[in-house]
Amino acid sequence: MSRPAASLTRSAPAFRKALARWFARHRRPLPWREAPSAYRTVVSELMLQQTQVATVLPYFERWTQRWPGFADLARADEAEVLAAWAGLGYYRRARLLHGLAKAVAALPAPPTTAEGWVELPGVGPYTAAAVSSIAFGHPAAVVDGNVVRVLARLAGHRRTFASTAAAVRVVTPLAAALLDPRRPGDHNQAMMELGALVCRKASPACDRCPVSRWCASRGAAASIPAFAPKPRRSEQVDRALVVDRRRVLLRRHAKDSPRLAGLAELPLLASLRLKAGKLVAVRKRAITTTTYVERLHLVPAAKVRAAARRQPDLEWVSLADLPFAAVSGPHLRWVTELVGKVAGESKG
């Protein structure tokens, strides 16, 4: 590297000042910043795990209006909580957040340190540092995807990281050394905001970077950090689309299922003991490293009535109720789009 990280850590006070000045001017007016509270910080952080800001915004507004505080959420019905999360993805988070609210509501007061927060459901190292620093001024440095990128570039790490976890381990000491202990919440948000707005993955705006004078990657930033490619798989999935008297047959996952917890989706053809039907659509859906090629088969209701009675996780949902039935986002769209086509071909 062209500049050792040591010179950066010696410049920590000046670095913090330049970053803070930039953040004060460029910070986005996000709802969890404008009316901050411990609860709103927690909700935003859980929703923002692996999920982009723009995606979270409408969910955050609906959620906090419906459940304004820990106690309100703690009293909520689990099915309602899961339905309110439908479409956000990583559905385990909904149950974890519900459990977190119950745990906090049972305490005399919420934890104030990262060590306290990390004990709660759904809270890992990142979220514990974020909540404790932003809501309570606890001096814990956050290391998310943005911060990894910013710090790897500042330090000039040109090697290929085996995983994001490996990169987090490497840059965490630098994150801690740079943290502004007097205003850790703002400092952490400024680091992430810098990654989101300036030190972007594909097109870093180094000419607008407030800390470029300490950066060892000037001119090569776009290629840092490098990660080993992950193996990717493709898998074919066959599902049944069954419509009967303005109702559609869905399979609902258990509330504690590792995937699609509490949500409903179109049932697998195999689960209905069917080989194939009339192919009505083929969609691709990427889930992490696997691309699922989903084929939707139109199946006459008569062929599945017995199975629907036998299998308790199968349920008929009226088309009018679909938007409120905690149906996985893509499946909700598929059914909505295909129902007209189906109605024409199966007489209703």
Helix (H) / strand (E) element for 172: namely helix 164-178
Among 10, 232, 246, 341, binds DNA (CB under 7 A): 232
Binding to DNA by residue 271, rule CB under 7 A?
no
DSSP classification of residue 275:
-
Burial class of residue 200 in the structure, from the number of CB atoms within 10 Å of its CB (0-12 exposed, 13-18 middle, 19+ buried) = middle
**Apex CA 192: angle with CA 186 and CA 193, to 5°?**
80
- Residue number, 52 or 65, with CB nearest to DNA: 52
173 binds DNA (CB under 7 A): no
Q: For the chain, how many residues are written?
A: 348
DSSP for 23-84?
A: HHHH----HHHHS--HHHHHHHHHHTTTS-HHHHHHHHHHHHHH--SHHHHHHS-HHHHHHH
Radius of gyration of the chain (CA): 24
Least distance (Å) between residue 205 CB and DNA: 10
Candidate list 160, 163, 223, 236; residue touching DNA; CB under 7 A: 163
Specify the residue, 222 or 276, whose C-beta has the smaller distance to DNA: 222
Token pair for 294: 């989903």
Task: Give the interface segment with DNA, choosing from 7-15, 64-72, 127-135, 269-277 (CB under 7 A).
Answer: 127-135
Task: Show contacts with DNA in window 31-70 (CB under 7 A).
Answer: 32-33, 44-45, 48-55
Query: By rule CB under 7 A, what string of x and - marks binding of each residue 282-321 to DNA?
Result: --xxxxxxxx------------------------------
Q: Give residues in contact with DNA (CB under 7 A).
A: 30, 32-33, 44-45, 48-55, 87-92, 96, 121-128, 130, 144-146, 149, 162-166, 189, 192-193, 195-196, 200-203, 227, 229-230, 232, 258-261, 263, 284-291, 328-330
